[in-house]
Amino acid sequence: MPELPEVEVVRLGLRPAVTGARVRGVDVLDARSLKRHRDAAGVVKNAADFVAALEGAELCAPQRRGKFLWIPIEPARDEVPRALIAHLGMSGQLLVREPGALDDRHTRIRIRIENPRGDVYELRFADQRCFGSLAVDALVSVGASVVPSQVMHIARDPLDAAFDAVAVRNRIRSSSRAIKAVLLDQQVVSGVGNIYADEALWRARMHWARPASSVSARKVDELLVHARAVMEQALAEGGTSFDALYVNVNGESGYFARSLQVYGRAGEPCNRCGTVIVREPFVNRSSYRCPRCQRQR
């Protein structure tokens, strides 16, 4: 599943194409990709409502919190501020294509846009497994920020300039859950998924199952520093691609997978001490660790 660096790569790729662009047309090819396009009561709206909400709209610079990406819509007079919000799910892709280009495989929605220079593009949402979605959602104020209503519960992420590391450290240490479970809790700290949690824990020499409340403040601070560093490195390398499902807006894969230290490396030697990396069950997923570097104390 795309994590923070992968979503940020997409956001940066979208920015020059969509900022200030006008929506000239919308084609919904598969309404399953609108399952999060809902009214205030949570009822899914139809495709015609989605099209009407977007056609003619002027788009602003794309924004992100954690794994959620949205493109604010320039509001008309007395109109409730809204945004086009994208959740990529397991296999969602946002692609920028020239008009008339052959449809990408599993294209579910096409949005034709014209930028201020008169250049026309198609913003395509492709999704093999249909776990992701697009929606038009109201923007609401949460503290000093404005986010879609569907993102209100999502905490700030380590790459956010307003990330409060001390407050997050205190929340982590107040939990008796496994440290990895807390790190993955998007209401505590957002954007850290299974891959980058394992990588950060390896860098911090910490066992994933250690109770968060037993970890010192210094070690939690260190873990958060590593989480930020590993995601910054992944972002610089275009994200992590294990297959063709994660790509940037041009359809290109990232190459951070080459830099992974533990994730996906079961049976291979640890690059720090040479001990064989192990894979262990974690909820419905897996955790990877070095038995020597990451002992459970």
The domain locations on the chain are 4-151, 165-289
65 is in an annotated binding site: no
Which residues are part of the catalytic machinery? Answer: 2-3, 67, 285
Q: Tokens 């949460």 belong to which residue? A: 142
Token couple for 113: 């846009």
- Are 148 and 250 a contacting pair, CB within 8 Å? no
- Between 80 and 73, the more confident residue is 73
User: 126 - beta bridge partners?
Assistant: 93, 107
pLDDT in tens, 212-240: 999 999 999 999 999 999 988 888 876 55
- Is 50 exceeded by the pLDDT of residue 130? yes
Q: Does domain 4-151 have CATH number 3.20.190.10?
A: yes
pLDDT band at 77 (very low <50, low <70, confident <90, very high): low
The architecture (CATH level 2) of 165-289 comes to Orthogonal Bundle (1.10)
pLDDT of amino acid 9: 85
Alpha carbon distance 282, 18 (integer Å): 39
129 is in an annotated binding site: yes
> pTM to 2 decimals?
0.88
Strands (E), 115-260: 120-127, 133-142, 145-148
